[in-house]
Structure 1
Amino acid sequence: MIIALSGGVGGAKLALGLSRIMPPENLLVVVNTGDDFEHLGLSISPDIDTVAYTLAGLANRELGWGRHDETWSFMETMEALGGETWFRLGDRDLALHVERTRRLKNGESLSQVTHDLCRRMGVGPRVIPMTDDPVRTRLLTDRGWLDFQDYFVRLKCEPVVSEVRFQGAGAAKPHPDFMAALADPALEAVVICPSNPFISVEPILAIPGVRQALTGCAAPIIGVSPIIAGKAVKGPTAKMMQELGMHPSAGTVAKRYAELLDGYVIDHRDMSQVVSIDAKVLLAQTLMTTMEDREALAKIVLQAADVLKRRKVNTRLRHRTAGDGA
């Protein structure tokens, strides 16, 4: 079993690569829900949908979000009527949000809805939200406190960020299957996908009990850097790092995860960062533009997991033997 912690596009790409080189039913993808919000009366889960569409082969590669087979009659009509169009919902995508909203209002959990919708789309791996409780990412900016989608989509990441909070995280409970998998002796690795650490991964880590379960996990934890040569492949990661007083680099991201990492994968172009990272570092091509790229990076991650797990097991055995001898 492999656990992948994922945000949207970058995490979805690596999850797809993993699903293609291992039995997909052995992959558990735990997805950030801090981006979730209510819009036009609908419950929208952007990261879950990006991961599901990607794993189902339905993702729009040009846009980086939504479906590839999309039409836009709803948005065109909404615009003609003077409605809100800053968050674009395609016609097929809209059907998913309508159905999710209906089921949630009828008492189903986000986990139940996600499981069934993924099954109907033919998704092989298990995709679960980090929690069934509401957690909302909010950003303090030079324009005041903003909900994440206002910052990310409506304002196109233009405001300057000075603080990030995860509203509701303190009262949320991690998904029970996530916690059970972390405690499972059959677990081979936890992969922190190349997602934005501040707004995609740290909402997951902010839920009580998650960090403790990860640090106590017997399987190795391997991170993949979302930064290549000081720049983010997609999204505002590098911009946010600068605004929060951090140098945008693979090494800086590694420091955010320092107490968790056993291994860390960085791009060849960041070789100079190796000495600053307190984990086993592997060099790879981390830019995933083709399916071959996704699979190649996934293979490197799994090979690292195998080596690091054997090392962890041997370390525990030595400690146990030393203890018995004492």
Structure 2
Amino acid sequence: MEDIRTITVLGGGVGNARFLLGLRDHLAAASDPATVNAIINVGDDMWLAGLRITPDLDTVMYALAGVNDVQRGWGRVGDTERVSAELQAWGVGWPWFTLGDLDLGAHITRTALLREGLPLSAIVERMTERWPIGVRMLPVSDDEVETHVVTAEGEMHFQEWWTRHRAALEPTAFVSHGLESAQPAPGVLEAIEAADVILLAPSNPIVSLDPVLSIPGVRDAVLRASAPVVGVSPIIGGAVVRGMADQCLTAVGVETSALAVARYLGSRRDGGLLDGWLVDDVDAAAIAPLESEGISTVAVPLWFRDGPTSIAIARAALAVARGRMSPDGTTLGR
């Protein structure tokens, strides 16, 4: 395949944002006019202090707009937290979940538009018009589908498990409340069906990718798509790049390794999702077994250290989709 006109990326927050930045910048440097659709997890979303909070959508939006706080990994750069301090003084919200003042502006805007009757997808489109982000962002659903974590201390929202408890409570299951009645947001299935390439960003497979793929109709659309599906491993050398994917994988009986995550997603040849898979150089031993299972696997450096490395990862993912990379990362032909 030579002409790639539409690229659709599925993912969550931080890893997805870094990958999308690299993809966007790669296309710009190559003067490539391909359209990028980003279908984003809403399982982390919640109501807090009367406001609708959408962590993954905001993380991606801020990163693409260039206003994200790269040190903390969330929120707006240079933000203050005077309002959060005042809310805590009033005993409102979660004292362990602070929000910046500029960030609160986004949450107030979103909530006001929801109260006016706009669906989340229309709100995301409207809010992202503020900056030239270069990517079309799509929440996977307009419906409220929230991820909860089951632990020995009871069931709690994912944000409480991760932010308050720092994932220290052993999870036994993950539950998506509202999933049964949820529908894909407008444009989601069309973005998958029209894609020339489908990419799975390096996101937590259990609490970022699964909540996207579990929305009724989404996984089936990926399975039916004529486009190649290439994923980027979120695991390097048996360890997570960021977050708590190891606890999540263990809870569902999956080893924390690039090989095991690829097998969890499955080969399309055998009814799974993947045609191709990017692993880090240290995980090159996964190439042979995955190739034998029908997943074209390539080893390249996968650490998002800066702009050039992010671009290189995105370029490699597209090269795998085009079938132009050998397993050792050598580019074949054009």
User: Is TM-score (shorter-chain normalized) higher than 0.5?
Assistant: yes
Distance, in Å, in 2 between the alignment partners of 1:161 and 1:274 is 31
**What TM-score, normalized by structure 1, do the two folds share?**
0.90
Matched, 1:32 2:53: no
Matched, 1:293 2:302: no
Unaligned runs of 5+ in 1: 309-326
Q: C-alpha displacement at 1:163, in angstroms?
A: 0.9
1:206 match: 214
For 1:297, give the aligned amino acid. Answer: I
For 1:85, give the aligned amino acid. Answer: P
Matches within 5 A, 1:172-183: 172-183=182-193
Distance, in Å, in 2 between the alignment partners of 1:104 and 1:212 is 29
Matched, 1:220 2:236: no
Match of 1:305 among 321, 328, 331: 321
1:75 match: 84
2:132 match: 122
Unaligned runs of 5+ in 2: 1-5, 267-271, 325-334
Distance, in Å, in 2 between the alignment partners of 1:68 and 1:6 is 23
Decide which moves more: 225-234 or 82-91: 82-91
Give the conservation status (yes or no) of the 8 Å contact 2:7–2:34: no
Q: C-alpha displacement at 1:204, in angstroms?
A: 1.0
Q: C-alpha displacement at 1:303, in angstroms?
A: 1.3
Distance, in Å, in 2 between the alignment partners of 1:296 and 1:77 is 44
For 1:89, give the aligned amino acid. Answer: L
**What TM-score, normalized by structure 2, do the two folds share?**
0.88
Matched, 1:142 2:152: yes
2:108 match: 98
Distance, in Å, in 1 between the alignment partners of 2:47 and 2:87 is 17
Distance, in Å, in 1 between the alignment partners of 2:66 and 2:203 is 20
Residues 56-112 of structure 1, C-alpha deviations (whole Å, 9 max, x = no match)? 011111001111121122123334445432111001001000010000011001011
2:253 match: 245
Residues 259-284 of structure 1, C-alpha deviations (whole Å, 9 max, x = no match)? 11000000001112223323000111
For 2:22, give the aligned amino acid. Answer: G
Decide which moves more: 171-180 or 97-106: 171-180
2:72 match: 63
* Secondary structure, aligned partner of 1:121: coil
Give the conservation status (yes or no) of the 8 Å contact 1:188–1:306: no
Residues 153-194 of structure 1, C-alpha deviations (whole Å, 9 max, x = no match)? 12111110111121112211112312112222xx22110000
Match of 1:108 among 118, 139, 151: 118
Q: C-alpha displacement at 1:13, in angstroms?
A: 0.4
Q: Percent of aligned positions with the same letter in both sequences? A: 34
Distance, in Å, in 1 between the alignment partners of 2:287 and 2:180 is 34
Match of 1:266 among 251, 276, 279: 279
Distance, in Å, in 1 between the alignment partners of 2:52 and 2:90 is 22
Distance, in Å, in 2 between the alignment partners of 1:117 and 1:166 is 26
For 1:114, give the aligned amino acid. Answer: V
* Secondary structure, aligned partner of 2:184: coil
* Cα RMSD after superposing both structures: 1.5
Distance, in Å, in 2 between the alignment partners of 1:204 and 1:242 is 20
For 2:237, give the aligned amino acid. Answer: A
1:86 match: 96
Pairs aligned (count): 306
* Secondary structure, aligned partner of 1:288: coil
For 1:269, give the aligned amino acid. Answer: V
Distance, in Å, in 2 between the alignment partners of 1:76 and 1:161 is 31
Give the conservation status (yes or no) of the 8 Å contact 1:52–1:118: yes
1:318 match: none
Q: C-alpha displacement at 1:245, in angstroms?
A: 2.8
Distance, in Å, in 2 between the alignment partners of 1:82 and 1:21 is 46
Give the conservation status (yes or no) of the 8 Å contact 2:145–2:176: yes
* Secondary structure, aligned partner of 1:251: helix
* Secondary structure, aligned partner of 1:13: helix
Distance, in Å, in 1 between the alignment partners of 2:151 and 2:45 is 19
